[in-house]
Amino acid sequence: MNDRNRLPYDKPSVNESPSEHNGSSDISQRGTRIRRSALWAAYGDALGWISEMTDASGLKRRTGGPPLREPIAWKRRIGGRAGVTASLPKGCYSDDSQLRLATSRAIRPDGFDVEAFAKVELPVWLSYALGGGRSTSVAATRLGKPRSSWFANSFKGWTASGGNGAAMRVQPHVWAARTPDYPESFILDIVRNTICTHSHPRGLMGAILHALSVARAISTGNCPSPRDLQADIEIAEHLPAIMNPDTELQYWLTAFERESGGFDDAWAQAIRETREAVQLVAEPMPELSGVERYRNIINRLDLRNPKCRGSGTLTAVAAVGLTWCEKRPIETMRIAANALGTDTDTIATMAGAILGATVEVDPPIEVLDSELFRTEADRLTEIAAGRTPSSHQYPDLLHWSAPKTRADALVQSDGTYVVRGLGRVAETPDEPLVGPKGKFQWQWIKLESGQTLLIKRRPKLAPEIASDCPSVVEEHGTVPVEPTVKERRRGDSVKPPLDNRSVTGQPAVEPPRPAKASQPSARSVAATLSLVETHINDDRVVGRALRKVVRKGSRGEIHEFTGKLIDLLRDSGRP
């Protein structure tokens, strides 16, 4: 589809309200599905992480001998050669669930705060990451730089980042969607989240296809069928047209095409590859057991091949295919975790997010921080219902600077510990583990929000930076009703949906349009600065940005913007 100015689908029906659509009126039922989706996703991660990147003898060492059937306490090297061997508690989860929680925190009643996700969550995550692919780690490091921006996060190999590191974390966008069976209500946020770290069409396609699979499970209570997957691929095919009116995504698209060539052709290739992958795994195999059928899927997709193992598209297809092999969730998770040589934890966590929304049982074992997973699932359900639950309060991004190194996120304030950007520490259950040369330590902590971290730190902590510690919960328990994040990006235009069908095959419903923004917030000023930096040599862009802030910003915002604009112009050599 080469004509980005033409939308090849019809206007939605607006005779129904979202609450009348496909059983969505029962918010309690939907909340239960969301909660189980979150819990089974975390359970699959905790189980599959034990067998990730090891062989049969290595797994035997990790389990102490018995077969892997449930999450256990085990040991793993953390921090590479200069790190430590840490004892991981029963149910400990990996970077998959860590980044899912980071995504969840960045979703507020007014939308997904991609600036906070990119500039706070991802750089700080590096200090407590338990695993993580190369693309995610390099991208997060780059986003920690003062002049990087989420829609222009270029690093070596950024256009080739097609792994599953984004697909594994995007479920909260679906959980918080008011109309999960209306794809356009969440797809652009999936794209924003993804391109912070993964810009290759395979990474994007994997994230979108998985989100649509979770949306079907939430909306219908059933796992997607092969026919559903093909229909979702048709929905994803329209992505270039959907992105077209979005200014920030157009900046990213221009940078991608300058680096890697035409996006439309690359996207069409990803669509073809995904269709072929679905066809490979969709063949009925009734005579095979669940283990045998999944082994067949692994072989057909070549998931033990290092070149295919972490593919965003293949992982998304494999996760759905796994749900066709075994309907009992506990057995499904065991099958995934014992498929050595594959990406065990990511396939298990993505399959758990889908299958969890369709079953009537919770996981048999509480994973680490299970109460936090429940709380976040319930908070996102409240947002989906149109309510305004309390949300994580980030530092003012105009004054925020990410930790300089992975050891600088943990600081000290008034005798207590603080994780920069994430909040105060409630518990420090153990003494720090000291690295080989004594320069760095790793310490288990528990935040007031309820999340447990094994964080890299310095032996002597720096003091807290002024205005750097957010409140985990606002004083009155709610956030002010402000113009939505999406409105600050796109005015109050609402585009037609992906086609005249929802993901359930019913007529699509247009979600309600929020109020138009009246003035920029600190986050929108930060986004404008990022935009200006990217186009510092384009006087038209700089002039429009200055006019926007002067017309709509407060005096303080104007002062901050003009001061930083002067610095940018001086550094560019263009006064």
What dotted CATH number matches 19-384? 1.10.4080.10
Tokens of 177: 């969607």
Tokens of 417: 């510990």
Residue 184 CB partners (closer than 8 Å, separation 6+): 242, 495, 497, 498
Distance of alpha carbon 95 from alpha carbon 158, whole angstroms = 20
CB 86 within 8 A of CB 131: no
> Among 261, 259, 301, 302, which residue's Cα sits nearest to residue 281?
301
Question: What pTM value is reported for the model?
Answer: 0.83
Three-state SS across 474-529? CCCCECCCCCCHHHHHHCCCCCCCCCCCCCCCCCCECCCCCCCCCCCCHHHHHHHH
User: pLDDT of 257-296, one tens digit each?
Assistant: 999 999 999 999 999 999 999 999 998 877 889 999 999 9
Distances (CA, A) of 14 to 11, 242, 508: 9, 19, 8
Distance of alpha carbon 87 from alpha carbon 53, whole angstroms = 18
* Orientation of helix 56-63 relative to helix 27-50, angle to 10°: 110
Distances (CA, A) of 187 to 107, 177, 447, 493, 496: 14, 10, 31, 16, 13
Helix extents (H) in 326-469: 329-337, 344-355, 370-384
* Orientation of helix 312-325 relative to helix 290-301, angle to 10°: 160
Tokens of 223: 């796992």
Tokens 């105009």 label which residue? 398
* Strands of 21-141, DSSP E: 74-78, 84-88, 107-108, 111-112
Cβ contacts of 557-566, under 8 Å, gap ≥ 24? 557/398, 557/520, 557/522, 557/525, 560/398, 560/525, 561/525, 561/528, 561/529, 564/529, 565/529, 565/532
Tokens of 110: 């007014």
Distance of alpha carbon 367 from alpha carbon 374, whole angstroms = 11
Tokens of 203: 């990474």
Query: Which residue type occupies 372?
Result: L
Would you kindly state where each structural domain of the chain is located, as residue ranges? 19-384, 519-575
Tokens 């112009």 label which residue? 569
CB 352 within 8 A of CB 323: no
Alpha-carbon dihedral sign for residues 180, 183, 187, 189: negative
CB 99 within 8 A of CB 52: no
Residue 87: strand pairing partners: 75
Per-position pLDDT tens, the chain of length 575: 344 433 333 333 333 334 444 444 578 999 999 999 999 999 999 999 999 999 999 999 999 999 999 999 999 999 988 899 999 999 999 999 999 999 999 999 999 999 999 999 999 999 999 999 999 999 999 999 988 899 989 998 999 999 999 999 999 999 999 998 889 899 999 999 999 999 999 999 999 999 999 999 999 999 999 999 999 999 999 999 999 989 889 999 999 999 999 999 999 999 999 999 999 999 887 788 999 999 999 999 999 999 999 999 999 999 999 999 999 999 999 999 999 999 999 999 999 999 999 999 999 999 999 999 999 999 999 999 999 999 999 999 888 999 999 999 999 998 899 999 999 999 998 899 999 989 999 999 999 999 999 999 999 999 988 757 544 433 334 333 334 454 445 443 334 344 445 666 655 544 444 433 334 455 567 778 888 887 888 787 788 788 777 766 665 677 678 777 887 887 776 54
